[in-house]
Chains A and B, each alone.
Chain A
């Protein structure tokens, strides 16, 4: 049975923060394809299109018929743990710092054997559930979990290396005054966060924090205007070292396509919040999060960025803001690469039209703040790098994966 985590005490001021070490990095191109799917939480393996053999490890040709026609398919993530070891000595620095480490050999129910990370509650010869996630190097790996949930199973130290659970962690929500920001705050507190820092923007039109939330001892209000580099730098100087999870909820959406607005005021505002705001945050907070990637027992683990799903394909009714989110989407990719090696995951949270005034001119379905918060916290707990929130975002992301050129054409006719 997994030992429940102890709430970490206050860090001693003289304790050194160990620099993060990355697990092994080099991978084949085929393995990187697996990492992409693992980052979304999908358990996919290669399958031969000619003879249907399920293949592992990742190959460029089928070991049954030599066909090079391989496709990635979702595979039933179940198998039997046929051998188990506890590694106590490793030549690798990252693993040396995390000894002992359980690894095993799982025979898939409908496929090959695979070496996997093994959850502490799994015993040899047991039937297991497998998950694919990215590790602290950002590479896809497989872990065997107990077939049924066990008490405190998310607290398993090896599983916690793959996930970003808010439990006992401190979360900064960049716009803590919006409905979404406050829903995320309530949600991470519900998931065990020990402190929530709510950014309070100073730009005109920003909201206020609900009294019940503002009054909580585990909630702290922080002046934070993402569009103001000085404000962001000051916030980082004051609270940056205790941010384990940063959720960028700063959103400024106005209707209109790229040709219908009379001037660029709204376009600039959107760019200011979504793109330049993100850059300001990245400049001030990313280096601090990076340096705290191995600051156990409470390390920096994740950066979550809300992005309109229309960042992936421009849709005229929201075409102006879509362009600013496309810029932000690109910046998030850059941020993910910049965080490489630190263990801090960068999650893109794609959302569809929300049930607020700026989408009032659109037909349903629309999503509320609670769903957004739930999806974000679920993604953190699972250690995902990408979530799609709501039916429209899911639909857009799926079409985009199928053909990124087809998506904007389809959107243009809808």
Chain B
């Protein structure tokens, strides 16, 4: 069988719309159920739909306690034909899009709300870190209990020494995102940041400094996947899917992570999308640490392996620049609302493509790539994925 024959079907008949964000809070006494309910309600308000019209739900959350998506149907009074629970952290929205798009395309469901949200109570972060996964429990957390900071410190240390990347390169990414966040009223950190401030930021787990880390917070994000016909009745703009990819446990042979699933076949991804990387108007990478953004830029084919530091340094990454990157400020400046962090890039890309990114609108935004990465099951992110989205003007 040729690779042509194995190419996945396109995404005709699929529309993505109604991107919403429930404003984040550093800490919250409310439950994940509360945050998720608010996001769904907001998405329905945005699209003018009654709750009874929803026939599909796709949920991602770390803090639902004993509940899964099943519990939410009864809790929220939703009667559905299609239900999915995607426990993939930072890769959640990409995977949710893939699942929901095929369900709509196949006629299994018509209006699917995709939602991710988490609460953040005082002990949430420690509990999530301590009980994250069996491998983490057995073989990572007991080694200093640094949580994701320590795991990323190790792969950042390795990446920096192996590819000659400097902390200044990370600073460039963080500073630009902070500038973008300054134009996003929903971002938790909006005060401008300088390279010097980044360089002086205190070490958390060398070489990871405070400004490399995302702030855990409470929040929720959602969008709706439906048919173009239904989307049009809402009277709002919507986006189409040009290509998607999803990988799990790619490159297990690498002794330490310096790439992820995106690197498996970037050419096929772009061929399917029918566009080239230089035609992309904005890029949303998963940025729980800057090193991962650099890997995504490389593995998705914007530049060669090991060269993202130089590639990004030479470009203006702000909303007005030639390489608009994480235009909402990303998680680094916006905060990480648990699994919501895996939705933030997609929701922002949809806003940009719909022309509703007030105050930080990328001019003529037609093609966006969103990349997801998640689940430090042990020593590395296991899940990765990406989508190319096109606005109506594309």
What is the interface of chain A, defined by CB distance below 8 A to chain B? 23-24, 26-28, 30-31, 56-58, 63, 82-92, 94-95, 101-105, 107, 112-117, 124, 135, 137, 139, 141
Contact = CB atoms under 8 A, between A and B. Distances in A.
B32 interface: no
Interface stretch (B100-108, B147-155, B175-183): B147-155
A27 B154 contact: no
B84 interface: no
Given A31-B138, A58-B139, A89-B205, A105 B145 contact: no
B161 A107 contact: no
Contact of A117 (B143, B161, B204): B143
Given A83-B158, A95-B146, A139-B142, 14 more contacts: A28-B134, A83-B157, A84-B157, A85-B207, A86-B206, A87-B204, A88-B203, A88-B206, A90-B147, A103-B144, A103-B154, A112-B255, A115-B143, A117-B144
Given A82-B158, A83-B154, A85-B205, A114 B139 contact: yes
20 contacts: A23-B142, A24-B137, A24-B142, A26-B137, A31-B137, A56-B139, A57-B138, A82-B255, A84-B157, A86-B203, A87-B144, A87-B204, A88-B204, A91-B147, A92-B145, A101-B146, A103-B146, A105-B158, A105-B256, A115-B154
Contacts of A103: 143-144, 146, 150, 154
Contacts of A95: 144-146
Closest 4 A/B residue pairs (Cβ): A92-B145, A85-B153, A57-B139, A91-B126
A56 B379 CA distance: 11
A87 B144 CA distance: 7
Contacts of B137: 24, 26-28, 31
A219 B19 CA distance: 76
Nearest to B151: A115
Interface residues of B, number: 39
B150 A105 contact: no
Contacts of A28: 134, 137-138
B379 A105 contact: yes
Contacts of A24: 130, 137, 141-142, 145
B274 interface: no
Given A82-B256, A105-B379, A89 B142 contact: no
Contacts of A63: 252
A117 B139 CA distance: 11
B145 A84 contact: no
Contacts of B145: 23-24, 87, 90-92, 94-95
Contacts of A26: 130-131, 137
A137 B143 CA distance: 12
B135 A57 contact: yes
Contacts of A112: 255
Interface in B156-189: 157-158, 161
Contacts of B139: 31, 56-58, 114-115
B83 interface: no
B138 A105 contact: no
B157 A113 contact: no
B27 interface: no
B388 interface: no
Nearest to A114: B139
